[in-house]
Structure 1
Amino acid sequence: MTMKPVRYGIIGCGMMGQEHLRNIALLPDAEVVAIFEPDAEMQARAAALAPQARLVDSLAEVLAIETVNCLLIASPNHRHLEQLEQIAAIRPLPVLVEKPLFTDEADVARLAALRATYPAPIWVAMEYRYMPPVAHLIREAGAATGGIKMLTIREHRFPFLEKVGDWNRFNRNTGGTLVEKCCHFFDLMRLIAGCNPVRIMASGGQAVNHLDEVYDGQKSDIWDNAYVIVDFENGLRALLELCMFAEGARYQEEISAVGPVGKIECLVPGPGRFWPAHLGPAPVPQVVVSPRNPAGPRVLDVPVDPALLAAGDHNGSTFYQHRYFADVVAGGGQPQVSLDDGWWAVAMGKAAQISASTGQAVAGDALSALVPRH
């Protein structure tokens, strides 16, 4: 099969967009052709990372460049759906769109219309699937557990970083913490379970961070902690524990899966740039397998290529994601993370936000109203 070159048009080049630029630069047969970034400072940083790219003033100008044959959307969350609709109306190309796919439950009908008519692949960026220790756990979980019955994801991390215009301080822009931050984890839960959720219960709120933050006279309403319990169709139970004032932890993510014959867990450190230098080298990711019989944990180090660690904050996963997406653009095929996968991840986060706000579990018709239907 003849593989065509992969030539990106980039929409949004803030912190995450710049991570994408660094990782695209590591791909042998890909290049960034055009960048649309309205903030002058972020545009200058993007230009330094991709000096060959043409800087333009609109999404439409990106689409007008004939050599562009795929797109990356890394703009603020609340812009994703409208930009996908604009692309669909002008020149639908293969798209890698950052999570979350959408932010407002009222937009479900718009998303359904997009899915029904968009003629090219839409890949939703769920980087956590591709972290080497997480990918190892996903591959080995069935054998290590004998069939997962309980799944726990703990993220103890640093607070939300500052973004352009402080857009990430408000639920109306992010979809809420359990959408913005946690849709990755709901995607992992559903991927590992191999089926869909039937009930979601949550408790969450703002306990430490953002309490005194005011922007243009408006108080920040983004949450910094939560517990979420998810029941799945096959009986698997999953728990998410999020704390965003625990940056002193050795590991940022700890994922465990347990079944009748044993347990498997992975331990993932946070971004190396945040690790205290006086403590020496940053921790190496690990996978631990703990069979019931014979009892005794086995620890496996899962190191990540230093070049990939230097290219971003997600343990090399952004590179692997782009490599697989580039294969779809160059040779055809279907996204590994579909529009429906991205939709489900947001629906689960929205259900968790609703549950935490109302004190009621979200199930049945209330859950069905949020999820993809064919």
Structure 2
Amino acid sequence: MSGIINYGVIGCGMMGQEHLRNIALLPEARVAAIFEPDPDMAHAAAALAPSAQMCPDMDALLAVEPLDALVVVSPNHLHVAQMEQIAARRPLPLLMEKPLYTDAAQAARLAALDYPAPVWVAMEYRYMPPIAALIEQVDAATGGPVMLSIREHRFPFLHKVGHWNRFNDWSGGTLVEKCCHFFDLMRVILRAEPVRVMASAGQSVNHKDESYEGRAPDVWDNGYVIVDFDNGSRAMLELCMFAEGSRYQEEISVTGPTGKIEALVPGPGRFWPAHLGAPPVPQVIVSPRSPRGPQVVEIPVDPTLLDAGDHNGSTFYQHSRFRDVVLGQRPVEVTLSDGARAVEMGLAAQESARTGQSVALGLQK
């Protein structure tokens, strides 16, 4: 393939528009077609990609001739059916937003799907510069990871079209919708597979005074999850979604026999209080056991990339790699199996928190 890569984008709400802004930063790339059923979101998308053909449905988008790749950014509960439709009609290289699915019953449908083109599941957190640096340095800094802690203290769920992120049956639940990113990071950092999940979570503060067509939101806003892995390592997630006053949004710590490495990631710059001055800069901290003494490195992110989205520049870096996949220059880095495994862990955490019992995954050792 040579020349400009033409993208079709399905779903252009808040995250879809972030994808549009980042595709616009890629060399020799353009959005050729968009399907977005909400009129307000479609209007905003057309402003970001004025040369794109606005399509009334997915069939119309898939019929647009000059398409080289697709990006699916629709509400979570639509992902599996839309992927099946694409596979049956026109299976182009596909960047599929997380979570890959929302309900255990959908896992078999995905497993049965014979998709002949590359599929990349959008796990942006891998590509946040401080987290990418931690992943690259983790062995040297720790002597091999044994314990991993991920803390996310952030703002509540934002308002989305149709309020789909307020309900477990549409979103998959908070520990799927929000936290599949972190379960993916656990597997990547520890290079191991989960065998047992234990969780405690609930809805303590957020969305309690909201009602949509007579339904009260049921998504959780805080929780703890502990995961045991098949190589003997373990990981913990701490989530709080009423902590937007925090200096850093994500704090990741990995410890091994020779030391510790941490990554500190600020939240979206647009939420940082202007009266406090410039937002905090991402950091990586390496703390060897001997000689003792933390080593702090700041990892600033290109302001252009920060302006293009809320994910610390990671959406652009992910798109750069996916573009290489479309060109046949790189293998997929986040596979369907990776995406499915992250959801499996999230659903297990939801079940553990609901029942008060641990949930086994795979073969325990």
Q: What's the TM-score once normalised by structure 2's chain length?
A: 0.98
- Residue 164 in structure 1 maps to residue 176 in structure 2: no
Residue 8 of structure 2 corresponds to which residue in structure 1? 9
Q: What residue in structure 1 maps to residue 96 of structure 2?
A: 97
Partner of residue 21, structure 1: 20
Aligned to 2:262: 265
Alignment of 1:204-215 (within 5 A): 204-215=201-212
* 1:294-348 Cα shifts (integer Å, max 9, x gaps): 1000100000000000000000000000000011102254211000000000000
Does the 8 A contact of 2:261 with 2:286 survive in 1? yes
Gaps of 5+ in 2: none
**Aligned position for 1:141:** 138
Match of 1:356 in 2: 353
SS of alignment partner, residue 264 of structure 2: strand
1:308 counterpart letter in structure 2: L
- Measure, in 2, the Cα distance between the counterparts of 1:220 and 1:101: 22
Q: Residue type matched to 2:74 in 1? A: S
Contact 2:203 2:222 (C-alpha < 8 Å) held by counterparts = yes
State the shift of 1:212 in Å: 2.0
Deviations 1:167-226 (A, max 9, x none): 110000000000000000000000111121000000000011012221101111000001
Structure-2 residue corresponding to 1:31 = 30
Q: How does 1:56-75 map to 2 (within 5 A)?
A: 56-75=55-74
What CA distance in whole angstroms lies between the structure 2 residues aligned with 1:214 and 1:160? 15
Deviation at 1:107, TM superposition (A): 1.1
Structure 2 residue 273 is matched with structure 1 residue 276: yes
Q: 1:372 is matched with which residue?
A: none
Contact 1:11–1:75, Cα closer than 8 Å, also in 2: yes
Give the share of equivalent positions with the same residue, in percent. 68
Match of 2:325 in 1: 328
Instruction: Spell out structure 1 runs of 4+ moving beyond 2 A.
Output: 2-5, 331-334
Q: Map of 1:75-114 to 2, 5 A cutoff?
A: 75-114=74-113
Unpaired runs of at least 5, structure 1:
370-374
Q: Which of 286, 289, 292 in structure 2 is aligned with 1:292? A: 289
Work out whether residues 4 and 331 of structure 1, in 8 Å CA contact, stay in contact via their aligned partners in 2. Answer: no
Counterparts of 1:111 and 1:203, CA distance in 2: 29
Secondary structure at the aligned position of 2:131 is classed as helix
Partner of residue 304 from structure 2, selected from 302, 307, 312: 307
- C-alpha distance in 1 between matches for 2:339 and 2:286: 30
Q: Out of 218, 240, 251, which is 1:243 matched to?
A: 240
Q: Is the 8 A contact 2:263 2:283 kept in 1?
A: yes
**1:220 matched to which residue of 2?**
217
Deviations 1:230-266 (A, max 9, x none): 0011111100000000000000000000011100001
Alignment size in residue pairs: 363
Aligned equivalent of 1:347, options 339, 344, 350: 344
Shift of 1:4: 4.8
Q: Distance in 1 between matches of 2:288 and 2:153?
A: 26
CA distance in 1, matches of 2:212, 2:128: 35
**Distance in structure 2 (CA, Å) of the matches to 1:17 and 1:108:** 24
1:191 match: 188
Deviation, structure 1 residue 27: 0.3
Whether the aligned pair in 1 keeps the contact of 2:195 and 2:229 (CA below 8 Å) is yes
Question: For 1:44, what is the secondary structure of its paired residue?
Answer: helix
| Contact kept in structure 2, 1:154 and 1:255, CA below 8 Å | yes
Deviations 1:112-154 (A, max 9, x none): 111xx11001100000000000000000011100011100000
Q: Which residue of 1 aligns with 2:50?
A: 51
Could you tell me how far 1:163 is from its partner in structure 2? Answer: 0.3
Distance 2:240 2:192 in 1: 27
Q: Distance in 2 between matches of 1:194 and 1:148?
A: 9
* CA–CA separation in structure 2 for the residues paired with 1:194 and 1:133: 19
Identify the residue that residue 171 of structure 2 maps to in structure 1: 174
